[in-house]
Amino acid sequence: MSEAQVENRPKEAARLRIRLAEPGENVDALIPLLRKALSESRYASLSLSEDRVKALLAAHLEEPKLIGIILAEHLSEAGATHPVGILYAMAGRLPFAEATSCAAHLFYVRPEARRSRAAHGLLKAFEKWAKNRQAFEAAVHVTMGRTEDARVSKLLSRYGFENTGGRSHFKNF
């Protein structure tokens, strides 16, 4: 299995695809997903700056060793895709040790896809992405201020991420 695509269980495999966004990809399809994520966040009173987001996404897609934009997409019968989840990860060297830490700064799944395997697929792909960078740890920061933060924390615990206080969850490799 390539890093760019992680297969899901047979029943959902025909309907859900998890993949790493690629350099040069059209980022316009991600704007509605990011707008929805913003609307459910503590930043809901702010307007999404489409031009800024598009420029940032395009630049970040050109840095695949440092930044991973992992997508969960529903596939239609005709093969069209609809993004339903995103995990935005960054890799960085720890300043005090010869080690890499990978952090998910945005982990979001649309409400209609929250009972699907989208969150599971995003987390598994993030783990693989971090391990491919020889990371010491992977971290998910649940800082959006959503009312579902407790539910997300419980989900992360089920996948082996330890809540170290506050809203940060870590998994060592």
Query: Which structural domain range is residue 57 located in?
Result: 5-172
Q: How many angstroms separate the Cα of 94 from the Cα of each of 74, 99, 135, 137?
A: 36, 6, 10, 10
Domain count, the chain: 1
Query: CATH code at 58?
Result: 3.40.630.30
Judge residue 18's burial from the number of C-beta atoms within 10 Å of its C-beta, 0-12 exposed, 13-18 middle, 19 or more buried.
Answer: buried
Write down the pLDDT at residue 63: 95
| pLDDT bracket for residue 89 (50, 70, 90) | very high
Higher-confidence position of 109 and 11 = 109
Q: What is the mean pLDDT of the chain?
A: 89
Residue 154, helix vs strand vs coil:
helix
Mean pLDDT of 144-170: 85
Displacement of CA 71 from its chain's centroid (Å)? 7
Prediction pTM value = 0.87
Indicate the DSSP class of residue 56: H
70 near 86, Cβ under 8 Å? yes
117, 158, 173, 163: which is closest to 140 by C-alpha? Answer: 163
